[in-house]
A and B are shown apart, each in its own frame.
Chain A
Amino acid sequence: MTLSLPRGLFALTLAALAFSAHADELQVAVAANFSAAAQKIAAQFEHDTGNTVKLSFGATGKFYAQITAGAPFDVLLAADQATPARLVAEGKAIPATLHTYAIGKLVLWSADPALVDAKGEILKSDKWKHLSVADAKLAPYGQAAKETLAQLKLTDAVQSRVVTAENIGQAWQFVQTGNAELGFVALGQVQPPDGSRVPGSMWLVPDNLYTPIKQDAVVISASKVRAAATAFVDYLASDKARVVIKAYGYSW
């Protein structure tokens, strides 16, 4: 296999970083939906570069508030595009480092293996009492679910049966415990790459029903280890990282 020029340069950068005299420690704020994938990628990055990565998981909005208040994060892996863009606009993040590292996929899922059909027709029926959806104001998956319902012209029909979760993790809890028969969740939650596929039924919502759930990464301006932080953000676009990202149900 021959190395393409950018890839070769990238490998060189990594090698240079790996052999540089001192290793840096990175503080990375990670949107909760990406936490499992981020752990894998961070471990690989540590192995490849010798830097240490400390991950904090949480809601993107909370991270925004913390970063604005001077929290010592070097990198933000957001669950959306708006928050990193806002940080850039406010001069708190470095524009050149901003890019989409993952695109999430929305599924309609039920713990009942027989409930959800391959076309999502179940949404139109009255065979269910609660539909668990993440808050559209707070969670990109919630926004995607809202758009999907609007596209299907079902917003009014299901409104009284919607239970709103604070984030996609909680939307998953509601539906996984069976308290809600149906839920809009992330593909990565339903099919974790360790093979522990949760029994149930699902409909992979077609891409044309919602705006792609693009998640952006950015380096924070206040970072004292900018080079390593930039290397980490670049690493997210490497083939190695993308294998992981795909395995967790995201595209890019």
Chain B
Amino acid sequence: MDVDWSADLQAVALTLKLAFVVTLLLLAIGTPLAWWLAHTRSRWKAPLAALVALPLVLPPTVLGFYLLMLMGPHGLVGQATQALGIGLLPFSFSGLVIASMLYSMPFVVQPIQTAFEAIGARPLEAAATLRAGPWERFVHVALPLARRGVITAAVLGFAHTVGEFGVVLMIGGNIPGATRVISTQLYSHVEALEYPAAHRLAAVLLLFSFAVLLWVYRLSPKGALLASTAPDGVPRP
């Protein structure tokens, strides 16, 4: 059982690393995307929003299976990464990061988009009359007003990546230190009928998730996660 513990700890550490990297990258990509979705009148808005939300619909193992094919040597992405000299993405930490980003994307983009939309035009117009440029309006007005949405997005994206299972199972290859995360390790314990080890790891995962969600709900006492992202002092439209 001692050996199992260290394997479990390694899986926990890897999971946290994965969730951190994915959350940071998703905030970097998701915030501008959410801004664009909140303000654009382009005819591409609906298709792009739908595309972002798609991972909510697809069963994770199915998503993982298609990623395995796409990123494989015969897939489009796989051929591109090979041509670029990166090699193939499945069975690597980078592969997991990319897959997790797709999978957790809606959980990050949607709260931020809702928060941006809730700000409305007036604070930005007011800033514009004070000669704030687009970048200043975004950084000094929009972002602070939408901060709850951003925090909710970060927490949800992080938690969702921690709990991710199907995608990792399909493209991970269960390599210790590279792709063996909590959920696959837990699954492996259950399947091997190692119930005590499974219970222990499940307890860790549950406590962690509970703490995260508790924190989010404290942050937004009115309850509903996605609906409560209206920034302080700005009435909902």
User: Do B188 and A179 have beta carbons less than 8 Å apart?
Assistant: no
Cα separation A93 to B30 with both chains bound (whole Å): 54
Cα separation A71 to B147 with both chains bound (whole Å): 49
Q: Does B91 contact A (CB under 8 A)?
A: yes
Task: List which B24-76 residues lie within 8 A (CB) of chain A.
Answer: 65, 68-69, 71-74
Cα separation A76 to B15 with both chains bound (whole Å): 36
What are 7 A-B pairs at a CB distance below 8 A?
Answer: A130-B173, A135-B192, A137-B188, A163-B91, A164-B173, A173-B170, A177-B69
Q: A138-B191, A166-B191 are in contact. Are A178 and B173 (CB under 8 A)?
A: no
Cα separation A130 to B95 with both chains bound (whole Å): 15
Measured between beta carbons, the chain B residues less than 8 angstroms from A170 are 169-170
Q: Does B174 contact A (CB under 8 A)?
A: yes
The contact of B174 among A129, A164, A178, A179, by CB within 8 Å, is A164
Nearest-CB residue, chain A, relative to B70: A177
Number of residues in B with C-beta < 8 Å to the partner? 22
Q: Does B219 contact A (CB under 8 A)?
A: no
User: Do B72 and A177 have beta carbons less than 8 Å apart?
Assistant: yes
Measured between beta carbons, the chain B residues less than 8 angstroms from A180 are 91, 173
User: Do B72 and A165 have beta carbons less than 8 Å apart?
Assistant: no
A183 to chain B, nearest CB (A): 11
Chain A interfacial positions (CB closer than 8 Å to B): 59, 61-62, 64-65, 129-130, 132, 135, 137-138, 162-166, 170, 173-174, 177-180
Cα separation A178 to B46 with both chains bound (whole Å): 36
User: Do B173 and A163 have beta carbons less than 8 Å apart?
Assistant: yes
User: Do A174 and B173 have beta carbons less than 8 Å apart?
Assistant: yes
Measured between beta carbons, the chain B residues less than 8 angstroms from A62 are 191
B28 to chain A, nearest CB (A): 28
User: Do A166 and B193 have beta carbons less than 8 Å apart?
Assistant: no
Select the residue from A65, A163, A178, A179 with max chain B CB neighbours within 10 A: A179
Cα separation A178 to B68 with both chains bound (whole Å): 10
User: Do A164 and B191 have beta carbons less than 8 Å apart?
Assistant: no
Cα separation A164 to B71 with both chains bound (whole Å): 18
User: Do B68 and A61 have beta carbons less than 8 Å apart?
Assistant: no
- A-contact bits for B167-207, CB 8 A (1 contact / 0 none): 00110011100000000100110111100000000000000
Q: Does B149 contact A (CB under 8 A)?
A: no
Measured between beta carbons, the chain B residues less than 8 angstroms from A64 are 193
Measured between beta carbons, the chain A residues less than 8 angstroms from B184 are 166
Nearest-CB residue, chain A, relative to B194: A137
Q: Does B88 contact A (CB under 8 A)?
A: yes
Q: A135-B174, A163-B173, A173-B68 are in contact. Are A179 and B88 (CB under 8 A)?
A: yes
